[in-house]
Amino acid sequence: MVDTTNRGTGEGTTAPTDQLIIVSGLSGSGKTVALRTLEDLGYYCVDNLPAALMPAFVQAISQGGGGLQHKLAVGVDVRNRAENLNRLPEILAELARSDVGYHLVFLDTRDEVLIKRYSETRRRHPLSGDGLGLAEAIAEERRLLKPMLAIADRIVDTSNLNVHQLRRLVITEMGLAAGAMTLLFESFAYRRGVPTDADFVFDARCLPNPHWDAQLRPLSGKDAPVREWLEAKPEVAQFSGDLRGFLTTWLPRFESDGRSYVTICIGCTGGRHRSVYLAEQLAEHFRQRYTQVLTYHREME
């Protein structure tokens, strides 16, 4: 079960008038995933921005035009100086006086899960350079981030979420996306298993495989030589066209049924050539119909 809490300036689960999304939380809780998802949704994102510079940042981007002032996101975490974190309520009050709406999201994770994640990824904790062990560093980080936690509009426990589930949460349950249905086209390798959150799964292993061309093998389906190779195969064009036709027919049914998020997964043997190419092609096609279309290439992340 996902533990989410709303409080502070946020009302309910949405923040439709907010100009600024602030993502904070513990190191290893998923802040990078959240910011990348917001970037996919069209937000202008800056990670590790000194909190004291937040008003100047918002003002500078707002003066740039292009509508960016309504889709900004910043990551603020323990890498900030302690005095900046302690001053955050004052900084946010300054934003409010300037009529800047904001929504502060804090990602939390249980200590034992964080320790396991650091062990699996072999990453260094930002505070480990102070001579602290991992458990001590996490405890110190919790202490330093108390000012952020105290004023968060939403607290999300990511202990039981994988990358896909967190992306979905940012887009839907956290209410940071507009009301239209969001499509995610995901490529994957069958040898690593089918994504558990797929709504549709299509198998591209029947198509010609660029892997057997030594010059194409190190490339991916996003590279021009691979695209040209696949586009020269009539069966690839037919397969892609059939998928477009199927989804064009049935996605509106999901939309009319109130669905806010649909994941379309395309798999091949290695998850780098055919599936990536098809996911990109389908995403490009459906961006003509849907405003929120994302791609995720599992084996390339």
Q: Which residues are annotated as a binding site for ATP?
A: 25-32
Q: Find, among 164, 162, 154, 119, the residue nearest to 29 by Cα.
A: 162
CB atoms within 10 A of CB 288: 7
Phi, psi (5° rounding) for residue 119? -65, -40
Cβ distance 296 to 186 under 8 Å? Answer: yes
CA 49-54-56 angle, to 5 degrees, is 120
Cβ distance 189 to 268 under 8 Å? Answer: yes
The terminus-to-terminus CA distance of the chain in angstroms comes to 26
Enumerate the known binding-site residues for GTP. Answer: 77-80
Type of residue found at 267: G
Under DSSP, the state recorded for 181 is: P
Please give the Cα distance from 8 to 134 (Å, whole number). 31
The residue behind tokens 């069966």 is 235
Enumerate the known binding-site residues. Answer: 25-32, 77-80
CB atoms within 10 A of CB 159: 16
Task: Tell which phi-psi region holds residue 248, choosing left (phi > 0), alpha (psi between -120 and 50) or beta.
Answer: alpha
- Compute the chain's Rg from CA coordinates: 21
